[in-house]
Amino acid sequence: KNQVEQSPQSLIILEGKNCTLQCNYTVSPFSNLRWYKQDTGRGPVSLTIMTFSENTKSNGRYTATLDADTKKSSLHITASQLSDSASYICVVKNSGNTPLVFGKGTRLSVIA
Amino acid sequence: NAGVTQTPKFQVLKTGQSMTLQCAQDMNHEYMSWYRQDPGMGLRLIHYSVGAGITDQGEVPNGYNVSRSTTEDFPLRLLSAAPSQTSVYFCASSWTGGNSAEAFFGQGTRLTVV
Protein backbone atom coordinates (compact mmCIF):
# COMPACT_ATOMS: atom_id res chain seq x y z
CA LYS A 1 0.00 0.00 0.00
CA ASN A 2 1.26 3.48 -0.89
CA GLN A 3 1.98 5.34 2.33
CA VAL A 4 3.85 8.40 3.58
CA GLU A 5 4.96 8.56 7.21
CA GLN A 6 6.25 11.75 8.81
CA SER A 7 8.08 12.37 12.06
CA PRO A 8 7.99 13.91 14.49
CA GLN A 9 4.26 14.59 14.73
CA SER A 10 4.99 17.93 16.38
CA LEU A 11 8.04 19.96 17.30
CA ILE A 12 8.74 23.08 19.36
CA ILE A 13 12.00 24.96 18.84
CA LEU A 14 13.47 28.32 19.86
CA GLU A 15 13.72 31.08 17.30
CA GLY A 16 17.09 30.97 15.55
CA LYS A 17 17.58 27.24 16.02
CA ASN A 18 17.72 24.64 13.25
CA CYS A 19 15.48 21.61 12.88
CA THR A 20 15.00 18.60 10.62
CA LEU A 21 11.74 16.95 9.67
CA GLN A 22 11.59 13.39 8.37
CA CYS A 23 9.51 11.66 5.71
CA ASN A 24 9.52 7.94 4.84
CA TYR A 25 7.45 6.61 1.96
CA THR A 26 6.47 3.33 0.36
CA VAL A 27 4.99 4.84 -2.83
CA SER A 28 6.03 2.92 -5.91
CA PRO A 29 6.91 3.46 -8.68
CA PHE A 30 8.25 6.78 -7.45
CA SER A 31 7.98 9.96 -9.51
CA ASN A 32 8.59 12.89 -7.19
CA LEU A 33 8.27 14.19 -3.64
CA ARG A 34 7.17 17.64 -2.57
CA TRP A 35 7.29 19.39 0.76
CA TYR A 36 4.36 21.72 1.42
CA LYS A 37 4.01 24.36 4.12
CA GLN A 38 0.55 24.92 5.56
CA ASP A 39 -0.02 27.99 7.70
CA THR A 40 -2.91 27.83 10.17
CA GLY A 41 -6.21 28.45 8.42
CA ARG A 42 -4.73 28.37 4.93
CA GLY A 43 -4.19 25.87 2.16
CA PRO A 44 -0.81 24.12 1.67
CA VAL A 45 1.83 25.80 -0.49
CA SER A 46 4.67 23.96 -2.21
CA LEU A 47 8.18 24.61 -0.87
CA THR A 48 10.27 22.29 -3.00
CA ILE A 49 10.11 19.28 -5.29
CA MET A 50 12.53 16.36 -5.37
CA THR A 51 12.73 13.99 -8.34
CA PHE A 52 14.41 10.59 -8.45
CA SER A 53 17.81 11.89 -9.52
CA GLU A 54 18.01 14.74 -7.02
CA ASN A 55 19.68 14.36 -3.62
CA THR A 56 19.53 17.89 -2.24
CA LYS A 57 17.64 21.05 -3.08
CA SER A 58 17.52 24.36 -1.26
CA ASN A 59 14.90 27.09 -1.17
CA GLY A 60 16.22 29.88 1.02
CA ARG A 61 16.48 28.57 4.58
CA TYR A 62 14.78 25.31 3.60
CA THR A 63 16.89 22.38 2.37
CA ALA A 64 15.29 19.13 1.27
CA THR A 65 17.12 15.85 0.81
CA LEU A 66 16.06 12.64 -0.86
CA ASP A 67 17.44 9.11 -0.70
CA ALA A 68 15.43 7.22 -3.31
CA ASP A 69 17.11 3.93 -2.41
CA THR A 70 15.94 3.98 1.21
CA LYS A 71 12.80 5.99 0.37
CA LYS A 72 13.54 8.71 2.86
CA SER A 73 13.40 12.48 2.65
CA SER A 74 14.13 15.25 5.10
CA LEU A 75 13.42 18.96 5.33
CA HIS A 76 16.01 21.01 7.19
CA ILE A 77 15.13 24.51 8.36
CA THR A 78 18.02 26.79 9.20
CA ALA A 79 17.92 29.75 11.58
CA SER A 80 14.21 29.33 12.25
CA GLN A 81 11.89 32.32 12.39
CA LEU A 82 8.54 32.79 14.09
CA SER A 83 6.93 32.76 10.65
CA ASP A 84 8.15 29.18 10.13
CA SER A 85 5.47 28.04 12.59
CA ALA A 86 3.23 25.87 10.43
CA SER A 87 2.50 22.30 9.42
CA TYR A 88 4.92 20.75 6.94
CA ILE A 89 3.46 18.07 4.73
CA CYS A 90 5.37 15.52 2.68
CA VAL A 91 3.56 14.54 -0.53
CA VAL A 92 4.65 11.77 -2.90
CA LYS A 93 3.58 11.22 -6.49
CA ASN A 94 3.92 7.92 -8.27
CA SER A 95 4.18 7.45 -12.00
CA GLY A 96 1.03 7.79 -14.03
CA ASN A 97 -2.14 9.76 -13.62
CA THR A 98 -2.82 8.77 -10.01
CA PRO A 99 -3.64 10.83 -6.93
CA LEU A 100 -1.00 12.27 -4.65
CA VAL A 101 -0.15 10.46 -1.40
CA PHE A 102 -0.05 12.76 1.61
CA GLY A 103 1.73 12.41 4.92
CA LYS A 104 -0.09 13.59 8.04
CA GLY A 105 2.34 16.45 8.49
CA THR A 106 4.66 17.75 11.21
CA ARG A 107 3.38 20.64 13.28
CA LEU A 108 6.29 23.04 13.92
CA SER A 109 6.08 25.77 16.54
CA VAL A 110 8.87 28.34 16.71
CA ILE A 111 8.87 30.31 19.94
CA ALA A 112 10.75 33.45 20.99
CA ASN B 1 -4.56 35.79 -11.00
CA ALA B 2 -7.02 34.34 -8.46
CA GLY B 3 -5.68 30.77 -8.52
CA VAL B 4 -8.07 28.39 -6.70
CA THR B 5 -11.11 30.01 -5.11
CA GLN B 6 -13.32 28.23 -2.61
CA THR B 7 -16.62 29.45 -1.25
CA PRO B 8 -17.87 29.74 1.40
CA LYS B 9 -15.02 30.04 3.91
CA PHE B 10 -17.23 29.03 6.84
CA GLN B 11 -20.54 27.15 7.01
CA VAL B 12 -22.71 25.70 9.74
CA LEU B 13 -25.28 23.09 8.75
CA LYS B 14 -27.90 21.15 10.62
CA THR B 15 -27.87 17.37 10.35
CA GLY B 16 -29.71 16.31 7.21
CA GLN B 17 -29.29 19.58 5.34
CA SER B 18 -27.69 19.66 1.93
CA MET B 19 -25.22 22.12 0.52
CA THR B 20 -22.64 22.62 -2.20
CA LEU B 21 -19.07 23.73 -1.65
CA GLN B 22 -17.83 25.68 -4.62
CA CYS B 23 -14.37 25.49 -6.17
CA ALA B 24 -13.16 27.42 -9.19
CA GLN B 25 -9.71 27.75 -10.75
CA ASP B 26 -8.53 30.10 -13.47
CA MET B 27 -5.29 28.33 -14.43
CA ASN B 28 -6.85 25.98 -17.02
CA HIS B 29 -5.76 22.98 -14.95
CA GLU B 30 -7.17 19.63 -15.98
CA TYR B 31 -6.79 17.93 -12.60
CA MET B 32 -8.96 19.00 -9.67
CA SER B 33 -9.56 17.34 -6.35
CA TRP B 34 -11.31 17.67 -3.01
CA TYR B 35 -9.75 16.82 0.35
CA ARG B 36 -10.92 16.91 3.91
CA GLN B 37 -8.54 17.64 6.75
CA ASP B 38 -9.26 16.48 10.29
CA PRO B 39 -7.01 16.89 13.33
CA GLY B 40 -4.34 14.19 13.38
CA MET B 41 -5.54 12.70 10.08
CA GLY B 42 -3.85 14.80 7.45
CA LEU B 43 -5.42 15.48 4.07
CA ARG B 44 -7.66 12.70 2.76
CA LEU B 45 -8.85 12.57 -0.83
CA ILE B 46 -12.63 12.63 -1.31
CA HIS B 47 -13.10 12.85 -5.09
CA TYR B 48 -11.01 13.93 -8.02
CA SER B 49 -11.34 14.75 -11.70
CA VAL B 50 -8.80 14.50 -14.52
CA GLY B 51 -10.85 16.65 -16.87
CA ALA B 52 -14.31 17.95 -17.71
CA GLY B 53 -16.87 15.16 -17.62
CA ILE B 54 -14.57 12.75 -15.74
CA THR B 55 -14.69 12.14 -11.98
CA ASP B 56 -13.49 9.37 -9.71
CA GLN B 57 -13.63 8.43 -6.05
CA GLY B 58 -10.83 8.94 -3.61
CA GLU B 59 -10.16 7.51 -0.17
CA VAL B 60 -13.30 8.81 1.62
CA PRO B 61 -16.08 9.40 -0.97
CA ASN B 62 -19.14 8.31 1.02
CA GLY B 63 -21.66 11.09 1.60
CA TYR B 64 -20.24 13.34 -1.12
CA ASN B 65 -21.03 13.85 -4.80
CA VAL B 66 -19.12 15.77 -7.44
CA SER B 67 -19.51 16.78 -11.06
CA ARG B 68 -17.18 18.46 -13.55
CA SER B 69 -19.14 20.17 -16.31
CA THR B 70 -16.41 22.72 -17.05
CA THR B 71 -12.63 22.83 -16.71
CA GLU B 72 -12.88 25.73 -14.26
CA ASP B 73 -15.40 24.44 -11.71
CA PHE B 74 -15.52 21.40 -9.45
CA PRO B 75 -18.32 21.63 -6.86
CA LEU B 76 -18.63 19.22 -3.94
CA ARG B 77 -22.13 18.32 -2.80
CA LEU B 78 -23.23 17.06 0.58
CA LEU B 79 -26.67 15.52 0.07
CA SER B 80 -27.54 14.93 3.74
CA ALA B 81 -25.00 16.40 6.13
CA ALA B 82 -23.88 14.37 9.14
CA PRO B 83 -21.81 15.45 12.18
CA SER B 84 -19.01 13.16 10.94
CA GLN B 85 -18.63 15.52 7.99
CA THR B 86 -17.51 18.35 10.24
CA SER B 87 -14.10 19.16 8.85
CA VAL B 88 -12.02 21.60 6.84
CA TYR B 89 -12.36 21.03 3.11
CA PHE B 90 -9.70 21.92 0.56
CA CYS B 91 -9.96 22.03 -3.19
CA ALA B 92 -6.80 21.69 -5.30
CA SER B 93 -5.90 21.84 -8.97
CA SER B 94 -2.86 20.98 -11.07
CA TRP B 95 -1.72 20.11 -14.57
CA THR B 96 -2.01 16.46 -15.53
CA GLY B 97 0.70 16.75 -18.12
CA GLY B 98 3.91 15.82 -16.33
CA ASN B 99 4.22 14.03 -13.02
CA SER B 100 6.00 16.95 -11.37
CA ALA B 101 2.96 19.20 -11.52
CA GLU B 102 2.45 21.29 -8.38
CA ALA B 103 -0.93 21.17 -6.68
CA PHE B 104 -2.43 24.58 -5.92
CA PHE B 105 -4.83 24.68 -3.00
CA GLY B 106 -7.73 26.93 -2.14
CA GLN B 107 -8.04 28.66 1.23
CA GLY B 108 -10.34 26.01 2.62
CA THR B 109 -13.95 25.79 3.80
CA ARG B 110 -14.54 25.14 7.49
CA LEU B 111 -17.77 23.15 7.81
CA THR B 112 -19.55 22.40 11.06
CA VAL B 113 -22.52 20.04 11.13
CA VAL B 114 -24.63 20.22 14.29
Q: Does residue B27 surpass a pLDDT of 60? A: yes
CB contacts < 8 A, A to B, total 51
Higher pLDDT, B58 or B100: B58
The alpha-carbon radius of gyration of chain B (Å, integer) is: 13
Instruction: Determine the average pLDDT of the residues in A33-56.
Output: 93
Closest alpha carbon to B103 in A45, A111, A86: A45
By three-state DSSP, how is residue A27 classified? coil
Q: Does residue B99 surpass a pLDDT of 80? A: no
Instruction: Determine the average pLDDT of the residues in A61-81.
Output: 97
Q: Does residue A65 surpass a pLDDT of 70? A: yes
pLDDT at position B108: 96
- Chain A CB contacts of B44 under 8 Å are 102
pLDDT at position A104: 94
Q: Does residue B97 surpass a pLDDT of 60? A: no
pLDDT at position B14: 97
The three-state (H, E, C) secondary structure of B35-86, written as one string: EEEECCCEEEEEEEEEECCEEEECCCCCCEEECCCCCCECCEEECCCCHHHC
Which own/partner contact pairs does B63-66 have at CB distance under 8 Å and 24+ positions apart? B64/B34, B66/B34
Instruction: Determine the average pLDDT of the residues in B69-78.
Output: 97
Q: Which of A46, A51, A97 sits opposite B96 (nearest CB)?
A: A97
Q: How many CB atoms lie within 10 A of CB A112?
A: 6
DSSP structural state of residue B101: P
Q: Does residue A96 surpass a pLDDT of 80? A: no
Q: Which residue of A lies nearest to B104 if distances are taken between CA atoms?
A: A45
Q: Does B33 touch chain A (CB under 8 A)?
A: yes
pLDDT at position B98: 58
Q: Exposed e or buried b for every residue in A78-104, given b needs 16+ CB within 10 A?
A: eebeeebbbbbbbbbbbeeeebbbbbb
Q: Does B96 touch chain A (CB under 8 A)?
A: yes
Q: Does A41 touch chain B (CB under 8 A)?
A: yes
